[in-house]
Structure 1
């Protein structure tokens, strides 16, 4: 079902791209747009993860330079029965994280230094479990390809004014078609992009809570990240707004409205859903899912010991 939904979404995005081409250059423009869309999809499939990580200056880390962070991801991946993803660190004061990759075998997770510094190990575990849920649900490929196509459609719309107003071209709709390509098509692409992110965040929250075993760890992390994102800018995200929906919390602004025009669901609604999930688990002690004991694992706090300080490539 998830594969069918993804294929349908990509078909809609490709059709939208071809529609913009038709409004700019008629049948010829539509065919050119189809070729560009196909090439964009193919390129995104193999390279979208590398592009996103490069945009945010992510550095790959391992158990030697980020032992606690790496151990958290490793244990969570084992719990979720996923291959160990590549682990990245982003030198950014805003606490945030995202996952990318075309499939679980080629996945990567990235967290900012702000996330590791401002959140407890338990909260970091909740966040990384959420990102691994995206990997397990195969959301990462869809979200990165949609981001690439949405950006391409918006760029094509901007070109419409320059290439669509010539009377000698094949544009069947004239100046009206140019206006539609400039305004409506990029706006429609933005709506699809945002809707995709919103519908998948709730599912990733729930599955992430199941992976780490503590819904309230993720709920607490979401609250801290959302409040910090309102105060701490993310320059790389501002320069690359098409990647905003990949993050666990919108890195661009403190958007609160839970509607179609928000890149993420309302944080309060997400927290409430996780709290309800925690209540369900508490009321059902016979649940087949058994969370890990709180005093075990790389994020556990053993009596009389303090968590190991996080070391990374930036110290």
Structure 2
């Protein structure tokens, strides 16, 4: 557990405006994956709206709110926050506070893990008798491997991983702690699942790390190509939906959400917290910016860069990505005028 006093010692800019400094929290979460006794960050209207509308929050949460945003709220909303949450803290720099206070929660989840001794020696790994495990495979403590799973040589499965039945994991795959892989998946050679997201906040000449411990959840019938990297979520999981097909050399950032049946071709880059709706397709080397969302059945042309939200069924191309017909007209216009003497 981490007390509010501990948090304030880590970030001396924190100001407690409601609740007691002796209150403790056990993790960091959000309204989508709310956990009891957790720390929640609110820095914009969207997050405030989500918090006030969330039926899962139970008053055990402690809020860290951007001071400028809080000061701009009506007094009734300020009172509602203070009455709803167990405690409220204000900060002048929410991203930097996130960096400063996330490390102790990371340590709570990771320092208890035994990363050196195979779970089969410890007696804590659960491996179904029908599973096939190759040579030079490390299976961490509390790993669960279900029926008819195949693990090929050189795979590293760190603690608290679950692999669903009929899944095949090819050589030299690395699976970090707190990863869940569904049934009938195929994970090709060299894939890394659950590494830290690329999250830093710059201040005073230092890139301050945001400590990631959200894990990864992969659905059923997912195929992941060689040397793809899927980062774990910051405080809540990165999500890969059922039936997603991911090519080689794809980068999937922290807290990305891929809907069912999404197809990502080679060298696609998905920035953190981007969201792709069911059965959308990204062509080779296409990219999506952080926090951007696209709807169901969207088609993104190769090498396009999606920098804003788009609805269902759009066909996009170019940089920044625009509807295909518009982009083609623009190309034609540029070509026509560039050829004039």
TM over 0.5: no
TM-score under structure 1 normalisation?
0.25
Higher relative contact order (CA 8 A, sep 6+): 1
Whose strand fraction is larger, Structure 1's or Structure 2's?
2
TM-score by length of 2: 0.23
Larger CA Rg, structure 1 vs 2? 2
Bigger fraction of residues in helix: 1
